[in-house]
Chains A and B, each alone.
Chain A
Amino acid sequence: MAGEQPKISKVEVQEIFPTPLWIVDLDPATSRPLNDALREEIERLLTPRPAIPKGANWQTAQDLHESPKFARLCEVVTMAARGAMRWWGLEAHPLVITGCWANINPPGAHHPRHTHPNNLLSGTYYIQAGPDAAEIVVSDPRPQAHVLMPRPTQFNARNTNSLSVKVQDGRIVLFPSWLQHHVVSNQSALERMSVAFNFMIPHYTETLSAPMWKGNVATRKAE
């Protein structure tokens, strides 16, 4: 064996259990008028601005999806969510928006790491992303994968424990609600404005929580 040149016939790397992120950009002809209208309505909702601590953000109530002023946005993000469901092979299930709120991040504000419990899909639509490298950061959902983290020659999506997604006006970013994400401090001099939303399959427990398998002992219901 020793000294012999190894003869490999094939090498394959499978990237298994991928975590999906859906990035959907609206055409400027759609996003510009939509953003103008949304900005005006959010400013109206948040005037006067309540005082908040340093580093914090303004957030509206979470029922914007019930306001007609947000109907067009809800239609757009629902279309994106339907696309995500198709990718997942889950297009047979209906979706409803369970929460929708606007975020205003002033300069210096950040949003610490969090998830959206009790929901299937979450996302953000960017009305005013800010002039420079604005991003949302998602954390690797496999925490044990980075207990040992030898320094790589170069960090990339295969060896790092967090990834940034660039955001821009008119962009929708969708992800599984269980995926931890955060927003780093706003380094620009402009406020960042976005709308976040959660989607869930309606009647979840009633339609999906019972076992998906059949036993091998036939059980007759009591008469």
Chain B
Amino acid sequence: MTIERSEMRQVFPTPLWIVDLKPDAARALNGKLMAEITALATPRPAVPKGANWQTDPVLHKLPQFAEFVSLIEMAARGALRSMRLEKYSMFVTGCWANINPPGGVNSSHTHPNNFLSGVYYVSIPQGADRIEFLDPRPQASVLMPQPEEFNLLNGNSATIEVRDGRLVLFPGWLVHQVPVNASSEERVSIAFNLMFHQFGETASAPLWKGRIPIKLPG
């Protein structure tokens, strides 16, 4: 055998950004957020079996969530830096609290019209501490021979463990779902979307120049 070197490259990775607050900061913030969410969600309207409570997606417009919004924006700037997109400015376009009662699920979905989406975890009981992301390459699992062991290279979903004070950011197009709350307590999180200011105006025009230059009038 005359192989000098062998390499496996992992191309086109899908990023997930996981940001953990320091425990003291998380406890303080979560105490405040929990009090605000409880105030907003009392009394609870009736919801069907397996469903969740969601506030209107306008928490980012309430002054009592301003500190939280600046946390989201900081995390989002970090994500943009890691993608070398730091020249763009972003804002929160929607922000809502989710309360998943025991038995509640969030079935798989994406967040159209937004670049980044994320969740911050306020109160996560044991047995409800996961979020799942589905492989965005649907053709990759048409053939799926049984591996010795499922891992990120051969599976079609990635599970992230979540806990109080954790913020998870991901591309808005990435399909995700929250499995059933198998605990006997409520699972409380805040979800949000971020998009660029004036996106059509700053990014939709072609990125290239023609070989035939044109001088515009005026």
Interface residues of A (CB under 8 A from B): 53-56, 107-110, 112-113, 115, 117-118, 139, 141, 143-144, 146-150, 161, 177-178, 180, 182, 184-187
In Å, the complex CA distance between A154 and B182 comes to 36
Number of B residues with CB within 8 Å of any CB on chain A: 30
- In chain A, what residue has the closest Cβ to B183? A54
Supposing A112-B179, A143-B175, A185-B105 touch, asked if A55 and B138 sit within 8 A by C-beta, the answer is no
Contacts of A143 in B (CB 8 A): 110, 136, 138, 173, 175
The 9 A-B residue pairs with the shortest CB-CB distance, nearest first, are A185-B50, A117-B144, A149-B112, A55-B180, A108-B49, A113-B108, A54-B103, A147-B173, A178-B142
B177 CB contacts on chain A under 8 angstroms = 112-113
Number of A-B contacts (CB under 8 A): 87
The yes or no answer to B42 lying at the interface (CB within 8 A) is no
A112-B49 contact given A55-B180, A143-B138, A178-B138, CB 8 Å threshold: no
| One of B49, B143, B182 near A118 (C-beta < 8 A) | B143
- Contact status A55-B134, CB under 8 Å: no
Expressed in whole angstroms, the minimum distance between the Cβ of B205 and any Cβ of chain A is 16
Interface residues of B in 86-133 (CB under 8 A from A): 102-103, 105, 107-108, 110, 112-113
A158 CB → nearest B CB, Å = 15
Contact A141 B112 (CB under 8 A): no
A139 to B108, CA, bound (A): 10
A118–B147 alpha-carbon span in the complex (Å):
13
Q: Mark B139-156, 1 if CB is under 8 A from A, else 0.
A: 101111100000000001
Q: Which residue of A lies closest to B145 (CB)?
A: A118
Question: What are 14 inter-chain pairs, A to B, with CB distance below 8 A?
Answer: A54-B103, A56-B180, A107-B49, A108-B103, A118-B142, A141-B138, A144-B173, A146-B110, A146-B112, A147-B110, A148-B112, A180-B138, A184-B50, A185-B49
Contact with A along B153-193 (1 / 0, CB 8 A): 00010000000000000001101010111100000000000
Contact residues in B for A150 (Cβ distance below 8 Å): 113
Residues of B bordering A, CB below 8 Å? 48-51, 102-103, 105, 107-108, 110, 112-113, 134, 136, 138-139, 141-145, 156, 172-173, 175, 177, 179-182
Question: Within 8 Å CB of B141, what residues of A?
Answer: 115, 117
User: Chain B interface mostly helix, strand, loop or mixed?
Assistant: loop
B50 touches A182 (CB 8 A): no
User: In the complex, A149→B110 CA distance in Å?
Assistant: 11
For A144, the chain B residues whose CB sits under 8 A away are 173
B140 to chain A, nearest CB (A): 10
Check if B50 sits within 8 Å of A55, measured CB to CB.
Answer: yes
Q: Within the complex, what minimum Cβ distance (angstroms) separates A112 from chain B?
A: 6
Task: Specify which chain B residues have a CB less than 8 angstroms from the CB of A184 in the assembled complex.
Answer: 50, 107
Contact, CB under 8 Å: B113 / A112: no
Assuming the contacts A143-B175, A178-B138, asked whether A117 and B143 have C-beta atoms less than 8 A apart, the reply is yes
- How long is the Cα–Cα vector from A118 to B143 in the complex, in angstroms? 5
Contact A147 B180 (CB under 8 A): no
Contact for B182 among A54, A110, A115, A148, CB less than 8 A: A54
The smallest C-beta distance from A142 to any residue of chain B, in angstroms, reads 9
Q: How far is the CA of A81 from the CA of B156 in the complex (A)?
A: 27
Which among A139, A178, A187 is the interface contact of B139 at CB below 8 angstroms? A178
Chain A hits for B182, CB < 8 A? 53-55
The answer to whether A53 and B180 have CB atoms under 8 Å apart is yes
Q: Please, which residues of chain A bring their CB within 8 A of the CB of B144?
A: 117-118
User: A182–B107 contact, CB under 8 A?
Assistant: yes
CB distance from A106 to the nearest CB of B (A): 10
B108 CB contacts on chain A under 8 angstroms: 112-113, 139, 182
Chain A nearest CB from B37 CB (Å) reads 23
Residue of B nearest to A147 (CB): B173
Cα distance A113–B103 in the bound complex, in angstroms: 17
A54 touches B102 (CB 8 A): yes
Among A53, A115, A141, A187, the residue within 8 A (CB) of B49 is A187
In Å, the complex CA distance between A115 and B175 comes to: 14
Partner of A113, one of B134, B173, B180: B134
Given A54-B102, A108-B103, A178-B139; 8 other pairs, CB 8 A cutoff: A55-B50, A112-B105, A117-B156, A118-B143, A146-B110, A146-B112, A184-B50, A187-B50
